[in-house]
A and B are shown apart, each in its own frame.
Chain A
Amino acid sequence: MKGYNFAYLDEQTKRMLRRALLKAVAIPGHQIPFGAREMPLPYGWGTGGIQVTACVIGRDDTLKVIDQGADDTTNAVSIRRFFAKTAGVATTTRTVDATVIQTRHRIPETPLTEAQIIVYQVPQPEPLYKLEPSRAETRRMHALAEYGAMHVKLYEQVARYGQIAISYDYPVMVNGRHLMAPSPIPAFDNPKMHRMKALQLFGAGREKRIYAVPPYTDVVSLDFEDYPFRAGRAPHACALCGDTASYLDEVVTDDRGGRMFVCSDTDHCATRRERVA
């Protein structure tokens, strides 16, 4: 695109981010501050993910962007167009054809491969934020691996609700050392992060933090021996493709209580329907 650098960001910014990403990969799950730039869309719309994608993506990449599993929602379409325009890269909606996948709050149902990189958009990178709002304090808690407060939170939920009642952004321990926010993916997706073959990168634009999980790295959802982690999903089959194992969205269809459950991963659902047809 004339008048702009390849993939929008200037080279100085990319270099700063790239150095931070290499350190992030070397310390799995550890948040690294970076100088997030103003992007041509507001904070909360994926500016962190976009900046990470911009310094990773190259001319030969094929980009897929999903928003809550869907390729066809505003955020996904806008970001895909943004990179098609500013980097001239090929885009796709098919998980298997993508080399870089930017995601808001889902991991595709199709297992990712070693040839792929997944970039998460992260609103709040600090898993301890709701327990301890001070950054200075949480940084020290991470330094000391002092995560007792999070276990107390989980315990209080067990005491009050009889179960751990976190359905998304379920805290994980990475490489046995750093507590990490997996971004607001459903807890259903947490097990996919564990020893994933693809490199996982996380960008939080407003909070100005990045972090990473290398391939084949332990990502363990916090739990208790007697209250083990459970990945929940709605107890239905997808109304379109019939899948009984995928993560489902509940769609309200009228104002008389009508509803249907459909796959949240639109590519997964379409691929299954194509196979049947």
Chain B
Amino acid sequence: MAADILAHPGFADPVHDRQVSFRALLQALARPGTFHPVAVPPDPPAPLAPATAAVLLTLVDGEAPVHLTGPFAALGAWVAFHTSGTEVAAGDAAFVLADALPDFASLKAGTDEIPESSTTVILQMPALEGGPPLTLRGPGIETTRDFGPCGLPDDFVARWAANRRLYPRGIDLVLCAGSLVAGLPRSTTVTPPR
């Protein structure tokens, strides 16, 4: 296991790669549905996409526990070594890493007084485009924006609408594919295209 950890290093230039990746995340959440390239670590362990690995290395640490689901469950030692992030149950996690949209009811949505104490879902996708088209509205979007990532569930619009109704509580989504990230903050309204 130790060999695995060292065979897949973190960022080559941690300070600047984190800054570049954070700016990508900041723009992604400030302009929902747009794609932004992160700085990628040289050889992330499977099945982490480079962007997904970069997001973990940028945001997770001992103060922000993470929950790993599905194929990522085996990466606990790598995450712990490279980020100091501890693994916790889904309902306690600041970040949930998944390749399929988790049930939002099992995650923290924050409270009306402290809505920021909510989970951010880091969702690894096959691709950020080429999927069924969606229309986004809300802060960060001038009028509307078309967005069609591959790999969202069929009932995504209804599930997101339920999340949207909790505002200012709610889950925020960071979508990762290849070396790109996109964001869907809780403030975004998602509808099928007219």
How many angstroms between the C-alpha atoms of A177 and B140 in the bound complex? 15
**Minimum CB–CB distance for B188 against chain A, Å:** 9
A-side contacts of B15, CB under 8 Å: 5-6, 11
Residues of chain B from 76 to 95 with CB closer than 8 A to chain A in the complex: 94
Q: Flag if B16 contacts A27 (CB, 8 Å).
A: no
Q: Which partner residue on chain A sits nearest B94 by CB separation?
A: A19
A-side contacts of B114, CB under 8 Å: 139
Tell which of B23-31, B44-52, B152-160 binds the partner. Answer: B23-31
B-side contacts of A177, CB under 8 Å: 167-168
Q: Which partner residue on chain A sits nearest B115 by CB separation?
A: A27
Q: Flag if A11 contacts B14 (CB, 8 Å).
A: yes
Query: What sequence of 0s and 1s flags, for each residue 11-25 of chain A, a beta carbon within 8 Å of any chain B beta carbon?
Result: 110111011111111
Q: Known A15-B61, A217-B140; judge A22-B167 contact (CB<8 A).
A: no
Q: Known A26-B187, A30-B116; judge A56-B23 contact (CB<8 A).
A: yes
Interface check B103, CB cutoff 8 A: no
A-side contacts of B168, CB under 8 Å: 27, 30, 177-178
Interface check B104, CB cutoff 8 A: no
**Minimum CB–CB distance for B67 against chain A, Å:** 16
Interface size on B, residues (CB 8 A): 38
How many angstroms between the C-alpha atoms of A203 and B168 in the bound complex? 20
Interface check B139, CB cutoff 8 A: yes
How many angstroms between the C-alpha atoms of A150 and B31 in the bound complex? 31
Q: Which partner residue on chain B sits nearest A87 by CB separation?
A: B19
Interface check A275, CB cutoff 8 A: no
Query: What sequence of 0s and 1s flags, for each residue 39-80 of chain A, a beta carbon within 8 Å of any chain B beta carbon?
Result: 000000000000000011111000000000000000000000
Total A-B contacts with CB atoms under 8 angstroms apart: 110
**Minimum CB–CB distance for A70 against chain B, Å:** 28
Interface check B186, CB cutoff 8 A: yes
Q: Known A20-B116, A22-B120, A23-B116; judge A199-B26 contact (CB<8 A).
A: yes
Q: Flag if B30 contacts A214 (CB, 8 Å).
A: yes
Query: What sequence of 0s and 1s flags, for each residue 146-169 of chain B, a beta carbon within 8 Å of any chain A beta carbon?
Result: 000000000000000000000110
**Count class of interface residues, chain A:** 35 or more
B-side contacts of A20, CB under 8 Å: 116
Q: Flag if A140 contacts B113 (CB, 8 Å).
A: yes
**Minimum CB–CB distance for A42 against chain B, Å:** 27
Q: Flag if B139 contacts A28 (CB, 8 Å).
A: yes
Interface check B20, CB cutoff 8 A: yes
Q: Which partner residue on chain B sits nearest A16 by CB separation?
A: B63
Q: Which partner residue on chain B sits nearest A54 by CB separation?
A: B19
Q: Flag if B22 contacts A18 (CB, 8 Å).
A: yes
**Minimum CB–CB distance for B185 against chain A, Å:** 4
How many angstroms between the C-alpha atoms of A137 and B14 in the bound complex? 41
Query: What sequence of 0s and 1s flags, for each residue 162-194 of chain B, a beta carbon within 8 Å of any chain A beta carbon?
Result: 000001100010000000000001110000000
Interface check A224, CB cutoff 8 A: no
**Minimum CB–CB distance for A57 against chain B, Å:** 8
Closest 8 CB pairs of A and B: A26-B185, A143-B112, A23-B116, A214-B140, A217-B139, A214-B139, A143-B113, A214-B30
Residue ranges of A at the interface with B (Cβ–Cβ < 8 Å): 5-6, 11-12, 14-16, 18-28, 30, 32, 55-59, 114, 139-140, 142-144, 175, 177-178, 195, 199, 212-217
User: Can you list 16 A-B pairs, Cβ within 8 angstroms, ordered by A?
Assistant: A6-B15, A11-B18, A14-B18, A14-B19, A15-B59, A22-B120, A25-B140, A27-B116, A27-B186, A30-B115, A55-B19, A114-B31, A144-B112, A177-B167, A214-B31, A215-B139
